[in-house]
Structure 1
Amino acid sequence: MPVIEYKCPNCGSGMVFDSETGTLSCPSCGRKDDIGSISDPLTTNVFSEDEAKEYHCTSCGAVIMTEAETTATSCSFCGSAVVIGDRLTGKLAPAKVIPFSISKDEAMAAFRKWCKNGLLTPSGFMTADRVKSITGIYVPFWLYELHNKVEVQAHGTKVRTYTRGDYQYTETQHYDIYRKIRLNYVKVPIDASEKMNDKLMDRLEPFPYDQLKSFKTPYLAGYVAEKYSYDEQELFPRSKDKIRGYIEAYISSAVSGYTTVNYTNKQIDTTMKQAEYVLLPVWIVHYDFNKTEHIFAMNGQTGKVVGKPPISKAKVAGWFAAISGISFLSLRLISWMMGGGFL
C-alpha cells in the first residue's frame, strides 16, 4: 500500500522532520539527513487510483485510520510518522511547502506567553494549563496571482473659499475624472481546507513566502497534513473578494486631491493568471476552559497566535469602573480649576 515511512539507516527508528535544523531527524540515535539529498518516493512511484484505500503502517502492520483529507499522520498503535503517498500525487501534489520552524515545545511556550498577555482574560485561563492538544498541521492553501484591469469614471469638485474685501467667496470647480489602472497581486493566500476556520487562517498572515521550498514528503514526517477540499476555481471568487479592499484603496489614492468625488462608473475585471497549491505550517491548540473548548492557531514560521480567548466579566467591570472613576475625577478637577475652589 502507498504508505511512506522514513526509517533511520542507523537504528531503524522512525525519522521525523526537525524544525530547528530543517533536516530529517532520528529521535532515537540523533542521525540527521539533509532533505535535499533524500529521494522522494513520489517521484519514483506511480500510485493507481484503483488501489484499495486501506492503509497499513509499515512498522507494526496496523490499519491506519484517517479521514479522507489526511495526507500525513501517525500510527495510532506504534506512533510512527507516516505519509499517505497516493493522496499527494497528480493534481493533489503540492507545488511547494513552507516547513515548520517552530517546534512543539516552542509553540507551547509561545502560547503560554500569549495567554498571559490577556488583560481581560480570566486568571485561570492565563496559566495556560488546560491545553487539551496541540497539533502541527500543514494546511492546504492556494496562492493566487491575480491581474486586474480597472476603469473608473467619476465627477470631482475642488472647492476654494477666500475673502476679498468685506466678502467671502466660495469657488467650486468641476472635473470629469477618468482612470485606467492595471494592478497585479501575487501570492494571495486562500486556505483550501473545509475543516479550517477561514477567518482564523486569514488572521495568521503574513507567511514568509521567501521560505517556500519545492515540495518533498520528508517535510511532512511527524506532522499532520491535509489535502485541499476546494480547487482553485472554486475559491477564485473568495480570492477576488480578498483583494477588493486593496483595489478600492488604490482607486481612492488615484483620485486624491479633490474635495468631493462621486463615481459614475467603476469596472474591475479580475483574471487568474495562476494558482499554486502549497502547504503552510500551522499549530492548532485545543484549550478547555470552564467546560468550553477554545481553538487557537499559531503561524508555524512566525509564531503569531490568533484566536478568541474568554473574557472575564469581573475584569471588564473593574476596567470600566476604573475608567469611569478617572473620568469623574478629571471632570471634578476641571470644575475646580475653572471655579477657583477646592474639591
Structure 2
Amino acid sequence: MVFDSESGMLSCPSCARQDPIESFPEENVQTFFSEDEAKEYHCNNCGAVILTEAETTATTCGFCGAGVVLGDRLSGKLAPAKVIPFTISKEEAIQAFRKWCKNGRLTPKGFMTADRIKGITGIYVPFWLYDLNSRAKVKAVGTTVREYTSGDYIVTETKYYDVYRDIDLHYVKVPVDASEKMNDELMDKLEPYDYGLLKKFKMPYLAGYIAEKYNYDDQDLLPRVKQKIKEYTDTYIRSTISGYSSVRYESKQIATQKKHAEYVLLPVWMVYYDYEKTEHTFAMNGQTGKVVGRPPISVGKVATWFGGIAGGVFITLKLISWMIVGELW
C-alpha cells in the first residue's frame, strides 16, 4: 500500500482498499526506528543519505535521480515529530511543472515544450522548525528638518531627538532544511508551507515515497536560523521609528534565543529535466505546487526583450521632446 495524496489515506493500487492513517494504533507511532523497520541508502553519485522502508531493495536518489545502493541499516536514530503529507500527486506535479515551463518568457522554445522530463521523485526533506525569541534594545538619534519663510529670510529648522526602543519579538515555526545535499536557497524559495496541516508522524505516510535523514541537528542550524530572521527583525525595528527626516543608529543590540525546535518532514517533488544534453534540477512544493529552479535562458529572447525596452524608451523620449518643442524627429 502507498500513501494517496488525494484522499490522505493508505491505498492499495490493486484492490483499491483504503485505510486511514490517523486511526493507526499508537504502537505504530515510534520515536526510534529499529534495524528491521528502515534502512539507509547512500547515493554514490551525490552522497545523499536517504531513508526508505526496510523491505526496499532498490530505489532512486531524490536529489540527483541516480540509482542508489544499500548502505548501513538505520538504528536508534530519532524519528521526525511531525510531517506534512503530500497533497499533490505525481501526475498533478508533472502537469503543474509543464504549465510552469510554458510560462517562461525568456526560456528557449525547446525547453517550453516540457517534453523532456527525465524523472520525478517524491521525497520528504528533513527540516527543523524553530520557535525563537528576540530581544532588541536600540538607541538612535532622529532628525526632523523644517523650512519656512520669516520676512526676507528662508529659515531651516533642524531638531534632534533621542530615540530608544526595547522590543520583544516572538517567531513561531521558522523552517530551516537539515539536508546537507539540498540547496538551501532552493528550499527557502519553496516556502511557505501551511503548518496548520502538520500531522503527528507515522510511518505509513512514507509509503510510496522516500525520506532523507537529517545531516544537522537543531544546534548546528541555530546560527543559520538567527541569520534568517535578522532581516525581519531589522525591518520591524525600522517600522517602529517613523516621522523623522533621517535616523542615525548609535547602538543596536539583538539577542535571539531558541525556545523550541521540532524535527519535521516536508514534501518536495524533485524534477529532473534533460535539455540540450544537460540535466536541470527543479523542486516543487508537494503541498502547494510552487516550482523553483533556474531554467535555461534564451539569448535571442533576452536580446529581443531588451531591444524592445530600449525602443520603447527611445520613442517615449522622442514624444516628450515633441511635446516640449512641438516637433517630432
TM-score by length of 1: 0.84
Kept after mapping to 1: 8 A contact 2:38/2:51: no
Change (3 A) 1:32 1:330: same
Residue 71 in 1 paired to residue 51 in 2? Answer: yes
Indicate conservation of the 8 Å contact 2:82/2:198, yes or no.
yes
Deviations 1:295-337 (A, max 9, x none): 1111000111011111000111111222222223333333344
Contact 1:40 1:216 (8 Å CA) reproduced: no
| Candidates 147, 153, 160, aligned match of 2:133 | 147
1:119 corresponding residue in structure 2? 105
SS at match of 1:201: helix
- In 2 relative to 1, CA 120–137 (structure 1 residues): closer, same or farther, beyond 3 Å? same
1:316 alignment partner, SS class: helix
Tell me the distance in 1 between the aligned counterparts of 2:167 and 2:298.
Answer: 49
CA contact (8 A) 1:286 1:296 kept: yes
Following TM superposition, the consecutive aligned residue runs of length 4 or more in structure 1 with deviations greater than 6 angstroms are none
Shift of 1:52: 9.4
Greater mean deviation of Cα atoms: 153-162 or 215-224: 153-162
Deviations 1:29-62 (A, max 9, x none): 11010112223665479766xx69996xxxxxxx
The match for 1:235 among 221, 224, 227 is 221
Change (3 A) 1:122 1:193: same
Q: What is the CA deviation profile of residues 77-112 of structure 1, one whole-angstrom value per residue up to 9, with x for unaligned ones? A: 699xxxx9x74x865211100000000000000000
Q: For this pair of structures, how many residues does the alignment match?
A: 313
Where 1:92 maps in the other structure, the secondary structure is coil
Equivalent in the alignment of 1:164 = 150
| Identity %, equivalent residues | 62
In structure 1, stretches of 5+ residues that fail to align are 1-14, 56-63
Unaligned stretches of 5+ residues in structure 2: 61-70
- 1:3-152 alignment runs, 5 A limit: 15-39=1-25, 42-43=28-29, 66-67=42-43, 69-72=49-52, 75=56, 87=74, 92-152=78-138
In structure 2, C-alpha distance between the alignment counterparts of 1:313 and 1:254, rounded to whole Å? 45
Closer/same/farther in 2, CA of residues 111 and 40 from structure 1, 3 Å limit? farther
Aligned CA distance change for structure 1 residues 34 and 235 (closer, same or farther; 3 Å)? same
Q: 1:272 to 1:22 in 2, by over 3 A?
A: same
1:167 shift after superposition: 1.6
Distance in 2, Cα, partners of 1:22 & 1:97 = 12
Indicate whether 1:279 and 2:265 are aligned.
yes
TM-align CA RMSD:
2.6
Distance 1:47 1:96 in 2: 15
> Residues 173 and 330 from structure 1, CA distance in 2 versus in 1: closer, same or farther, beyond 3 angstroms?
closer
1:342 positional shift: 5.3
Does 2:183 correspond to 1:202? no
Counterpart of 1:317 in structure 2: which amino acid? Answer: A
